[in-house]
Structure 1
Amino acid sequence: MAIIIWKTLILPLIFALALAPCSIALGHQNQSQSQSQPSLATTSAIPKYHGGPLLTGPRGINIYLIWYGGFFHKDTASITNFFASFNPSNYSHPYPEPTVSAWWKTFPSYKDKAGNSVSSTVKLVKQVGDAHSLGKNIKRAQIANLIKNKIETNIFPLDSNGIYLVLTAKDVVVERLCMGSCGFHDSILVSAKRLVYAHVGNSLQQCPGLCAWPYANSANGPPGQALVAPNGVDADGMVMNIATVLAGAATNPYKTAYFQGDALAPLEAVTACPGIFGAGAYPGYPGSLLVDKVSKASYNAYGINHSKFLLPATWDIKSLNCKVVG
């Protein structure tokens, strides 16, 4: 069974149970400041190492992307900019802080039992489109089979340190999407190799309040004003969830590494820090964020080509705290 991103994150009870004690750092251009937060949960929410492998290849984590269904160019451009932003060399100098690449720096602190670190880089190496070959109402098992087909037909290579990512368009209904889940990661066996794959859906038409908060009004939590999305609710909602599944897949690829709770529905490197994007976050409030002076869009990380993104807090394995990019 797949590992799920649970997105009932802003309910006060869930937040209180799942959120670990946090020391949250808010990044500003050319400066940063940290603000300690009171404990909102017991330390039982801490992801623990269970002895399994991580994605540790020295050449980085390769992303093989399938665009399933129809996407607007502005959305594909924003998401590909996000992936390109993992590489510091892609930024023009001087570049503002904090960056997407800085956000990923938490994860090489996660090590396997041999002392190998999670790969320090993520790169999009190949992307293909798929015009609804499976229809517009698909099962999770079909996503796995779609990826297997792309590998067996040599469209994608066999890559044991890769993540095969399927992004579905807003008119595609995927099993369990919007039913407590905004995406998932799992693994499949292809030619005697165990490969990691993931799915994230565009939730704009189906459940923006569940999967695109705080850029949409919450479906479950306290009422509040939705924030302005720098790249549109479609793209930014997907980026937040892509970031979450990438972190989980890298640190818990086979459900045997870093997690807390049930291995089939675990708290992982990001989901252990639900609903936190900036300093002072609490249920219904994402925290203090940067705001674009012209568009009024809220964000907390810079990418290439002057792009801006909102990335979730991560569990810092060194400090045992939730940490926002900064």
Structure 2
Amino acid sequence: MVPSFATQPFLQVILVAALFPFSLASGVGESIQRQQQPFFFQYHNGHLLAGKVSINLIWYGKFTPSQRAIISDFILSLSSSAPKTAQPSVATWWKATDKYYQLLNYRKLRRLVLSLGSQIMDEDYSMGKLLAGRQIELLAAKGHQENAINVVLTSADVAVNGFCSICGTHGFSKGKIIKGKRHKFAYIWVGNSETQCPAQCAWPFHQPMNRPKSPPLVAPNKDVGLDGMVINLASLLASTATNPFGNGYFHGPKEDPLEAGSACPGVYGLGAYPDYAGELSVDPRSGASYNANGANRRKYLLPALFDPFTNSCSPLGTGR
């Protein structure tokens, strides 16, 4: 069973953060208007993930070893027990999710500890190259389902229904019968958008469409598609931890919620605004932009998470 956190009385957090949604359908005026409309970020009396949880990776399609290493090193970097890395680190970024647990003030909380689990390869496209939600769910079910998040990663030549409008998603499904009981398990899907819609799903490493021509940033791992996948995976992991089964922390309709990892789209550093990711570090040798250091000397660009203590979008390195 995926470990879960006991429920507590209803909580509300007023979200007054400046939101800068990156959307091809939204103009700057709409973004500014949205910033001026505070809304409620609510806890819905459900479970949060807790305890020791493995992140299992299901690789669907063709990925090179170097591409797989970008993702697996990111997962390794989430743990505070990982080899010491320079600050700010991926582990420091992830620690921001602890605040959601602290709000519940639950004495017997088992701290969420993530680790890299098993990796499954499906290089022969067992379900074809055009996938729907049900097929993503079936692929996710191939991973170990107890104390786990199963992450389906699709290669650049795999199309998924609605890909370019969502870039990735998370959900849950009924799993196998374990110890006489059928349990739910959480899963995530993220696709490589490099050849399909990098402007939507790999910004700021690709120039946005139909917007002012600002040069794209240099990807820290020299792979626009995979560095974009890291951004989307990071956002979805934060949302999965704090709203794994649809009744945790979120705002808006349950079918299309704003969550901890999706409430601050397009914000990566201080001073962010539409088409500008914010103040970031730049590697003097490669010219790559990043805001987090990871395992094996990796550098990553990670999205701001919503901070329920300050009621604001909190990029890495701003008071965490």
TM-score band by shorter chain is 0.7 to 0.9
Give, in angstroms, the shift of residue 14 of structure 1.
5.2
Partner of 1:121: 113
When residues 7 and 193 of structure 1 are mapped into structure 2, their CA distance, relative to the original with a 3 A threshold, is farther
Give, in angstroms, the shift of residue 117 of structure 1.
5.5
Q: What residue identity is the alignment partner of 1:251?
A: T
Q: Give the alignment's Cα RMSD to 1 decimal.
A: 2.0
| Pairing partner for 1:305 from 290, 296, 300 | 296
| Pairing partner for 1:41 from 13, 36, 41 | 36
**% identity of equivalent residues:** 40
Partner of 2:233: 242
Q: Distance in 1 between matches of 2:256 and 2:22?
A: 12
> Which runs of 5 or more structure 2 residues have no equivalent in the other structure?
1-20
Q: Distance in 2 between matches of 1:15 and 1:64?
A: 36
Cα pair 2:144 2:150 within 8 Å, conserved: no
Cα pair 1:108 1:117 within 8 Å, conserved: no
Q: Distance in 1 between matches of 2:275 and 2:250?
A: 25
Q: What residue identity is the alignment partner of 1:55?
A: L
Question: Are 2:134 and 1:141 aligned?
Answer: yes
Question: Are 2:164 and 1:182 aligned?
Answer: no
Cα pair 2:22 2:275 within 8 Å, conserved: no
Give, in angstroms, the shift of residue 140 of structure 1.
1.0
Per-residue deviation, residues 147-203 of structure 1 (Å, max 9, x unmatched): 33x2xxxxx4331x421110000000011111x110001111123211111100000
Question: Are 2:48 and 1:54 aligned?
Answer: yes
When residues 319 and 113 of structure 1 are mapped into structure 2, their CA distance, relative to the original with a 3 A threshold, is closer
Q: What residue identity is the alignment partner of 2:277?
A: P
Partner of 1:169: 155
Give, in angstroms, the shift of residue 73 of structure 1.
1.9
| Pairing partner for 1:79 from 71, 79, 85 | 71
Partner of 1:211: 201
Q: TM-score, normalised to structure 2's length? A: 0.84
Cα pair 1:221 1:283 within 8 Å, conserved: no
Runs of 4+ in structure 1 deviating by more than 3 angstroms, as ranges, are: 13-18, 116-120
Per-residue deviation, residues 200-231 of structure 1 (Å, max 9, x unmatched): 00000000000000000013544311000011
Give, in angstroms, the shift of residue 42 of structure 1.
2.7
Secondary structure of 1:265's counterpart equals: coil
Per-residue deviation, residues 21-46 of structure 1 (Å, max 9, x unmatched): xxxxxxxxxxxxxxxxxxx33321x5
Q: TM-score, normalised to structure 1's length? A: 0.83
> Which runs of 5 or more structure 1 residues have no equivalent in the other structure?
1-5, 19-39, 151-155
Q: Distance in 2 between matches of 1:145 and 1:114?
A: 36
Q: Distance in 1 between matches of 2:29 and 2:100?
A: 28
Q: What residue identity is the alignment partner of 2:140?
A: I
Question: Are 2:309 and 1:318 aligned?
Answer: yes
When residues 108 and 272 of structure 1 are mapped into structure 2, their CA distance, relative to the original with a 3 A threshold, is same
Cα pair 1:230 1:308 within 8 Å, conserved: yes
Question: Are 2:23 and 1:8 aligned?
Answer: yes
Q: Distance in 1 between matches of 2:272 and 2:58?
A: 34
What is the number of equivalent residue pairs in this alignment? 287
